[in-house]
Every structure is written in C-alpha cells, then in structure tokens.
Structure 1
C-alpha cells in the first residue's frame, strides 16, 4: 500500500472503522481480512502506528493469538499486525509485553521449534513470528523484553543443532543478535547454554559449503551473531580464544 493510501485510510476514519469491526464481528474470515488491512495501512507509517497504539488493539491481537479456536491464518494476520505496530515503536513494544502478545509470540516460537519438521514446513509462519519477536526487542532496545525473550535461547541453539536450512536459521540468528546486543546478562546466558560452541560449530560446517550462496549468507549471519555476543564482554572473548 502506498504512503498516500495509508494516510487516506487513516484520515478518512478507515483505521477506526476496521478496529470497530474487529470488536464486533464473530466471523473468522472477516477478522483475518480486517487484521491484514490494518497491518497494511499501518506498516511504516508513524501516524497510523500512533493512532492504533492503544490497549484495546493489543487485546484483540492477544485474543487472536491466544484463542483456542484460532486458525493458523488468523494467527498469522495477528502477528503481521503486531509486527507493523511494534516496528520502531517503543510504546508498542511495552504494550506487546503488557497485553500478553509477547508471551503469545514466545509460545508460538517454542511450539514451532519443538515440533520437529514443522519449523521447516511452516517456514513462512516461523519467519513472521521470529521477525515480530525481533522488533519487540530492538530499535529501540527494550531491555525488559530482551530479558523475557532470553528464555528462548536454549530452544534456539537446540534448533541450530538439528536444522541447517538457511531460510530457517538466518532469521533466528538475527533474533540472537538483537537479543544480546548491549546486554551482558544475555551474552553470558548464551555461553551458559552452549550457544557459543553451537554457533562456532555451525560456522565451521558452513566453511565446507562455502561455494553455496545461501551458506555464505548464513555464515555472515553467524559471524554477526557471534560478534554481538562478544561485544563489550571480555569473558566471552577470552572463552572464544581459548576454544
């Protein structure tokens, strides 16, 4: 959607109409369409983000993510809206945490990671959830959200030991990078759960496949994540040198 169209939807009352529709409709397909329209109209638009950064909107997202009868399509539309609202928006980062949406994302992430090959077969959903977690943590840095999301680190490194597909691991490594950035507590937690060894091993394996473009991209992501883990943390630098 063009910027002019986003502004028109907001100025004509379209955002508030869609919000009202979500509060009243019981039809799943209408909810999915309304969530997607709100996300498209809010993406990269500060004024629309500001208008929708309110507890009621995040309660609707939480209900869509947490609902027992929610379909995968409904959850994906809700995650997309959450992603668009939270990106570069510190107030929305806090609303995501306080409304339970961040906990919902973490639950979805754990379920996908621990469900065997589902993380590969549902790569699109996994990438969307991972991206939403990243924006809840970063730009601006949100230390409380970083702390909460650090509980995912053991699941992340377990995934790295089982899966080698770049399309799965690249967004996960980006998540690790923002989770540990400027956060010594999380950097230490990476080492305690074997993350440095896991990423170093992954990097060594990728050097044997350096002729593959996807593997080269993944290797760059691994180096970036390792760099974030080591920055301003002398003990981890010493650990890596010794290893």
Structure 2
C-alpha cells in the first residue's frame, strides 16, 4: 500500500501536462484510501493530501479538479486526523470560490459541496469555518437558486444533475446546523425557511419534501 501511494503521488507530480493520467492516479488513490483508513494517514504524512489540495486549486482541467476533490473528501471521511488536517480556512475559501465561479460545472460544484459536508460533519471547528469564510452564505444561495422550476423532470439528465447538487447542498446545510448543534448556523439557515416553504407548497415530490423537512427539523432542533 505504501509503495503504491508513493508511486501514485510521483505520477501526479510528473504528469502535470497529462490530465487523464492524473485523473487515473487520483481514482486509484481514492480506491486505496477508501479501503484502508490508515492509507489516508500515510498519504497525508508523505505530503499527498496537501499536494492534492493544491492540485484541485491549480489544475486547469475540471476532470482533475473533480477527481482531486473527490479524493480529499474520501480521505477526510475515512479518517478524522485527515479531516482535521484539511479543515482550514484556506480550503473553505477555495471551495467557496469553486461554488461561486460561473465557470465551474455542476459536477465540480457537487464535489466541492461533498468536501464541505465531510469537513463539517461531527466537527465544530468545521461548522465555525463554514460560517466565518462565508461558505454557508454561498450554500444558502445555491439552495435558493439551483432548482428554478417547481415542475421537476428528474428523467432529464441536466435537471437530475441540478437536483443532485441541490440535494447535496441540503445535506451539507443539515450538518452545518446539527451534530453538534450549532446555534449561530441555525440562525443563518432560518432565513431559508420562506424559500423552503414555497417548495413544500408547490412541489409534492418526495425527492424534494424529504430533504427540506430534514433541513427544517434540524435547523429548529433544540432552538
């Protein structure tokens, strides 16, 4: 495992002009770290986590950015020490930029939201950073804007991709306010209730009702 991760990190470093090779290396790193939580710690110790974080920011290729973010999310999800290493204002600011940038495609935004969810989940420091960096504000804007029509045709590929992004945003807002409970984030998320209420009135699809009810319930919990 250690030899594989060392070779894969070298591949990432020396294939900067080959996005397909970099994507393949990132997918393999993701697979190794998903199967073995200790692999993530070793990858962190050899400088892999920081390199992949910087790659997500610096690469000109969306496929590499997406694969890098997916890898970061998986490693942080598998190991709390890696979560703590990645839980920095710098990374939250980068993720916020991806979400606010009009050039970011839907999948890149979804991978960014996934990383935010993992960094904030069961982590009060992450809940604080998501607020202080303005990331929760951008998530709130996405909650309002990603789905534009009450009549959702989820069999349409583009609509379904937008729905997946919106659903991920809902899940992330839920961990921003709960587990542990966070009063300040709850107060911020209360501003979304009128928009959530409009959707509950106008769209009866369970795919919409379930995440909104979870969001409302957790935002109100013990508050």
Give the TM-score range, shorter chain.
0.7 to 0.9
Q: Residue 149 of structure 2: SS of its match in structure 1?
A: coil
Aligned pairs, number:
183
44 and 154 in structure 1: CA distance in 2 versus 1, 3 angstrom threshold: farther
Q: Hey, what's the Cα distance between the residues in 2 that align with 1:119 and 1:69? A: 25
Instruction: State the match for 2:55 in structure 1.
Output: 21
Q: Highest Rg: 1 or 2?
A: 1
TM-aligned CA deviation for residue 168 of structure 1: 1.9
Q: 2:168 aligned with 1:128, yes or no?
A: yes
> What CA deviation, in whole Å up to 9, does each residue of 1:168-217 have, x standing for no partner?
2111111111100111xxxxxxxxxxxxxxxxxxxxxxxxxxxxxxxxxx
Q: Which secondary structure does the structure 2 equivalent of 1:43 belong to?
A: helix
Residue equivalent to 2:64: 30
Q: Secondary structure at the match of 1:182?
A: coil
| Aligned counterparts of 2:202 and 2:42: Cα–Cα separation in 1 | 47
* RMSD (CA atoms): 1.7
Q: In structure 1, what is the Cα distance between the partners aligned to 2:138 and 2:47? A: 29
Offset, 1:114: 4.2
Is the 8 Å Cα contact of residues 9 and 41 (structure 1) preserved in structure 2? Answer: no
1:167 correspondence with 2:207? yes
Unaligned runs of 5+ in 2: 1-33
Q: Cα–Cα, structure 1 residues 41 and 114, in superposed 2: closer, same or farther, change >3 Å? A: same
User: In the alignment, is the contact (CA less than 8 A) between 2:57 and 2:65 conserved in 1?
Assistant: no
Q: CA deviation at 1:147?
A: 0.5
From 82, 88, 97, the counterpart of 1:63: 97
Q: Structure 1 unaligned segments of length 5 or more: list them.
A: 184-243
**Is 1:146 matched up with 2:186?**
yes
1: CA distance, partners of 2:38 / 2:170: 29
Corresponding residue for residue 113 of structure 2: 79
In the alignment, the residues of structure 2 paired with residue 113 and residue 22 of structure 1 have an alpha-carbon distance, to the nearest angstrom, of 26
Q: Which runs of 4+ in 1 moved over 6 A?
A: none
CA distance in 2, matches of 1:44, 1:12: 17
